[in-house]
Structure 1
Amino acid sequence: MQDGTTLYALDISGASFVKPCGGPCTEGCVTLARIGEDAWALGDSKRPDAQPLRFTTQELNAAGIDPARFGLGA
């Protein structure tokens, strides 16, 4: 299982972030990318230069964030 140290050590330079709505978001959207086994990066489309937060699948589930809503498998 990943932890905070290993999550932030993962290279996300090639990560493909997707929005749950699939279209333009006028108020900004949360974006999500799989960055490894049991590892996810959560970004903000209004702040694309901000460092995305990183979570395990278990942490996403606890927060009520379903990767399937973004078109991503868990």
Structure 2
Amino acid sequence: MQNGIDLYALDITSASFVQACGGPCTEGCVTLARIGVGVWALGDSKRPDLEPLRFSTEELAVAGIDPARFGLDG
């Protein structure tokens, strides 16, 4: 929960995901979308059928994931 909000209750159907690759994108890429203020959805382009995981900005930072790498403002 982020400030009492269940991140998985947020609607992400209109979220705009962008990709960041560590190398050639033939293996699949990590996708990221802002789904609220300080809230993100993280997916896998190789497995688009799986629901993206959801994180706060602070949780992404702990995991070493910077939204700027995706061209997104943190």
Normalized against structure 1, the TM-score is what?
Answer: 0.88
Corresponding residue of 1:17: 17
Number of residues of Structure 1 aligned to a counterpart in Structure 2: 72
User: Which structure features the higher share of strand residues?
Assistant: 2
* Structure 1: runs of 5+ lacking an equivalent: none
Once the two structures are TM-superposed, the CA of residue 26 in structure 1 deviates from its matched residue by 0.3
Q: 1:3: how far off? A: 5.7
Q: Output the CA distance in 2 between the equivalents of 1:12 and 1:3.
A: 18
Give structure 2 stretches of 5+ with no counterpart.
none
Q: TM-score, normalised by structure 2?
A: 0.88
Name the CA distance, whole Å, in 2 between partners of 1:3 and 1:9: 13
Look up the SS of the partner of 2:26 in the other structure: coil
Output one character per residue of 1:44-70: Cα deviation in whole Å (capped at 9) or x when no partner: 000011000000000000000000000
Say whether residues 1:73 and 2:47 are aligned partners: no
Q: Secondary structure of the equivalent of 2:19?
A: coil
RMSD: 1.9
Between Structure 1 and Structure 2, which shows a larger proportion of helix residues? 1
1:1-74 → structure 2 map (5 Å cutoff): 2=2, 6-21=6-21, 25-74=25-74
Give the letter for the 1:16 counterpart: S
1:49 to 1:63, Cα distance in 2 relative to 1, 3 A: same
Q: Percent identity?
A: 75
Higher-RCO chain (CA-CA 8 Å, sequence separation at least 6): 1
- In the TM superposition, structure 1's runs of 4+ consecutive aligned residues that sit over 4 Å from their partners are none
